[in-house]
Structure 1
């Protein structure tokens, strides 16, 4: 053997040793290429080979992957391992090397081929549920990637696989991390003021690559629901034709066709986000299920957006739904729902969104990922009130009252357990009851406030009463609130009903009931004024964790109601409830800083808290800011900002601000907008 051959063998040996060592460090299984048999090209993918892993007699895919260095290749593999935790991404088994320059991934085999092939072979036999399942799986998978700032970049029905009716994604080696793209382009083109504007436009486009996946998804959705077409112009013509027809013969809903068209908008900024797409598909799915659940004679036409305004709770006739038992693996969602339900039971409704957001932040849970997890959860029927709540308040998504209402309707549906309840780790009846109770309360609150539906206090009262009859002391508090807003009943009778309802809720141990009862004694609503009782009931509510009660205790100390006046304690209580986003507490903290109550006068801090409170919708703070900017006593005089905040306060029905604005309008010619 020549010296050159010895050196070559030595280099190959060292190369393998280094590679093996790197694989061990990164916990990657390395297969000898000789362990595979019947290796042959896949019919539809030139860079994928089908093979059998001899040791286990298991079909696998061998996929070539571009690389520049060993470290680069293994880093790509590690990134793939992180992504393949998602069940819709091909499982990663390990790597193999066919020759020193050809590295291959060993991946899960799919028995139905590509989605394109599957649709061509089976389209006529696919039912609506299967097609919708494919669409939702793909959209949810893209949402998963985008939540990790990963773009695919070349989605098509060719590189999406089908395995036992489930979607499997391939070709992740061309995925790019958006942060890496941004950093790369900024390094390449700084300082950018010296470059042609076309370069700047190019960099900007690189930072919005998610829209590429959205466009591709639009094509894929159209293929799923209408079949494979030869070219894009055919697809566009089909979309326009289906949108034009009043009655769609193919069975594709109008919303779905419109969604496809929106995804294919030429201007990428006009395309929907992946979250909006998932929401839309979920809506369509829910509408189908609702139509199946509601009796045909009294079916609610979910396609008509006006149904929210016309729906009568007595018209809702659900068939029983059978659901499986949950197990220990569901512990996180069980605990989360338990926290949500307890918060709903113990706090005023307008504070719960702040508490939930704070809780998710504390446990380091991404709200969008939580919503994704709940939507994908096979037994989500247990948590539909929570999902509806997230949609109602835009937690992890955009605000969607329509979808919130539909989930609340799901929550109040009758559920029958389909297996032995003793096999469950968690008390299923407890989950079902609390989910239904939460759904009734939140659905009633939509009608009470007129959010997404026409305001209807009678429908709200009916739902709260139904919930109270099933044992909810929290619903009693909301019945009392309905009495507060019912101006038809004679004043004395109405005030007595308010007091008795809150008293009954408190007697049943409801935390919010104690707070409301305390307010009745403080204000003399339906009973004689008793400041001492009012203070003590608020104290009991605060001890049980009610945030509004904390604020009321602050007011008691501030005014000396039922307790010795102590403005320092008042300030401490006000500051404590601001931690949970309570807007009245924010306003009172501003007042304390302004006047030196319990804290040194600090105009800067006062202005800061007034701004926080005003931005959260507190009319009193908005009016104060209007005066601040009008007079220029605390901050620089600015008539434009003054008018802005007075206008905000007027929208909140503030008569003082309305009068100030009328004066501005009368003297508009004398106002210098630059003053």
Structure 2
């Protein structure tokens, strides 16, 4: 790739810095020239008139600094900033991967080989760039939820309990089911807000029919480990919620269903069903390992 530096309307080929910027996202000279000419036409002057040193200028550009478009410039003539939009194609793709990974986590759960946190770790070196890209693109699916998750995990930004909870609440205001789950999870685990199992239950219960599978799993947790201690009538609902979410593909729930069938918790003992669900859990890569449990049931 050849690199061209723009100085006061002139396009100069630069070979000294070519190797240094091989991994930088930069456009061809034709796009740059078009952008410069368009900007000069609408502004009446060359861009960046205060830069006389080409190396200072290229660092300025690589840092994604751009001239501001002249007032009332039609968007299709703002070619100078087309470069900025294209510069972010890599960030766009990576954000899409992160969004899909988040949705997968909420609908299929964690396994021995998969966890949303581990996906974020793969992009840690780009985290600040990805956070900035996310902030600048509010049309990204589950925008508010993702910002909240970045604050929660310290991905590209310092962890901030107040901010992640605020962004999850904003997602709720937009009727985002994943945002409602996250608020419920904050109440359940006391993350950024005082612990309240009853409020967590309300959020989880509100999205049982339309939200991610993880909401069913968490609501079952509420009934099994907390609320059920006070309201005995709810204890059987925990098993039914685990089973429903397992049938919808939530892998951690498969273990719960198998375990309950095996021990007769909240249902009658059923070794056939226990074996079926343990095998499904094992096939899907669930954690912990259940090989011994499968062998034991097969030998009955």
| TM range, smaller chain | 0.5 to 0.7
Instruction: Give the corresponding residue for 1:597.
Output: 296
CA distance in 2, matches of 1:338, 1:447: 15
Instruction: Give the corresponding residue for 2:231.
Output: 528
The C-alpha deviation readout for 1:487-538, integer Å capped at 9, x for no partner, is 89776xx121111111112154442222222222222437624342112112
Within a 5 Å distance, the mapping from 1:452-463 to structure 2 comes to: 452-463=156-167
2:207 is the alignment partner of 1:505: yes
Mark the CA change 1:590 to 1:443 in structure 2 (over 3 Å): closer, same or farther: farther
CA distance in 1, matches of 2:191, 2:296: 37
Mark the CA change 1:600 to 1:531 in structure 2 (over 3 Å): closer, same or farther: same
Within a 5 Å distance, the mapping from 1:96-115 to structure 2 comes to: 115=2
2:48 is the alignment partner of 1:164: no
2:134 is the alignment partner of 1:250: no
Mark the CA change 1:455 to 1:575 in structure 2 (over 3 Å): closer, same or farther: farther
Give the alignment partner of residue 410 of structure 1, picking from 121, 133, 136: 136
The C-alpha deviation readout for 1:581-639, integer Å capped at 9, x for no partner, is 5xxx332415637xx532569xxxxxxxxxxxxxxxxxxxxxxxxxxxxxxxxxxxxxx
State the Cα distance separating 1:355 from its structure 2 match. 8.2
Give the alignment partner of residue 181 of structure 2, picking from 477, 497, 501: 477
Length, aligned pairs only? 249
Q: What is the RMSD computed on CA atoms of the aligned residues? A: 4.8
Q: Which has the higher strand share?
A: 1
1:405 match: secondary structure: helix
State the Cα distance separating 1:436 from its structure 2 match. 3.8
Judge conservation of contact 1:392–1:399 (CA < 8 Å) in 2: no
Bigger relative contact order, structure 1 or 2, given CA contacts below 8 A and separation 6+? Answer: 2
CA distance in 1, matches of 2:132, 2:118: 12
CA distance in 1, matches of 2:148, 2:98: 20
TM-score by length of 2: 0.61
State the Cα distance separating 1:469 from its structure 2 match. 0.9
Within a 5 Å distance, the mapping from 1:322-361 to structure 2 comes to: 343=104, 346-348=107-109, 354=114
Instruction: Give the corresponding residue for 2:241.
Output: 537
Mark the CA change 1:390 to 1:552 in structure 2 (over 3 Å): closer, same or farther: closer
1:164 match: secondary structure: helix
Structure with larger Rg: 1
TM-score by length of 1: 0.31
Judge conservation of contact 1:531–1:561 (CA < 8 Å) in 2: no
Instruction: Give the corresponding residue for 1:392.
Output: 120
CA distance in 2, matches of 1:550, 1:572: 9
Mark the CA change 1:598 to 1:455 in structure 2 (over 3 Å): closer, same or farther: farther
Instruction: Give the corresponding residue for 2:9.
Output: 125
State the Cα distance separating 1:483 from its structure 2 match. 0.7
In structure 2, list runs of 5 or more residues that go unmatched: 12-17, 33-51, 69-84, 86-93
State the Cα distance separating 1:540 from its structure 2 match. 1.8
State the Cα distance separating 1:579 from its structure 2 match. 4.9
Judge conservation of contact 1:468–1:475 (CA < 8 Å) in 2: yes
Judge conservation of contact 1:444–1:460 (CA < 8 Å) in 2: yes
Mark the CA change 1:571 to 1:587 in structure 2 (over 3 Å): closer, same or farther: farther
